[in-house]
């Protein structure tokens, strides 16, 4: 379950940022998770609840923004949204896609 180590890293980054800015607690955590990131959202929620105990984010709420994957279609030269690797282009049906969007990132600063 790599979501546990992802949550540890996210909380560490948020705590470092919060301390630098003079905050004493984190109330809400917003994460953008792309469909191609290989992250199970429910496992991420479970991991966050377990990891946040004893941290500045102990009482924080986790908000996850689920983003579609992105790819560049070579034949029609468009950026397209895809749900999983090896999807066809929704415009021309081609499978000649180059993945361009895989993301797990905080989307706001701590408060």
How many domains are contained in the chain?
1
pLDDT, one tens digit per residue, over 70-93 is 899 999 999 998 888 889 999 999
Note whether residue 111 is domain-resident: no
SS3 16: helix
Q: What is the pLDDT of residue 111?
A: 44
With 60 as the cut, is the pLDDT of residue 105 above it?
A: no
pLDDT at 102: 58
CATH of the domain at 36: 3.30.2320.50
Task: Collapse the DSSP code of 67 into the 3-class scheme (helix H, G, I; strand E, B; otherwise coil) and give the result.
Answer: strand
- Residue 41 has a pLDDT of 93
Q: How large is the average pLDDT for residues 58-75?
A: 92
Residue 7 lies in a domain: yes
- Please, is 23 exposed, middle or buried when counting C-beta atoms within 10 Å of its C-beta (0-12, 13-18, 19+)? middle
**11 CB-near residues (< 8 Å, 6+ apart):** 48, 51, 52, 55, 57
In a domain, 101, yes or no: yes
- For residue 83, give its domain range: 2-106
For residue 25, is it within any domain?
Answer: yes
Residue with tokens 């890293």: 9
> Would you say residue 36 lies in a domain?
yes
Residue 97 three-state SS: strand
């Amino acid at each position: 379950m790599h979501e546990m180590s992802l949550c540890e890293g996210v909380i560490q980054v948020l705590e470092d940022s919060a301390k630098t800015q003079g905050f004493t607690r984190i109330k809400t955590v917003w994460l953008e998770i792309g469909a191609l990131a290989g992250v199970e959202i429910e496992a991420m929620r479970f991991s966050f609840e377990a990891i946040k105990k004893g941290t500045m984010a102990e009482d924080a709420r986790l908000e996850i923004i689920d983003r579609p994957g992105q790819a560049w279609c070579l034949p029609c030269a468009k950026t397209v949204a895809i749900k999983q690797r090896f999807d066809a282009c929704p415009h021309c049906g081609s499978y000649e896609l180059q993945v361009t969007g895989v993301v797990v990132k905080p989307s706001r600063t701590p408060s």
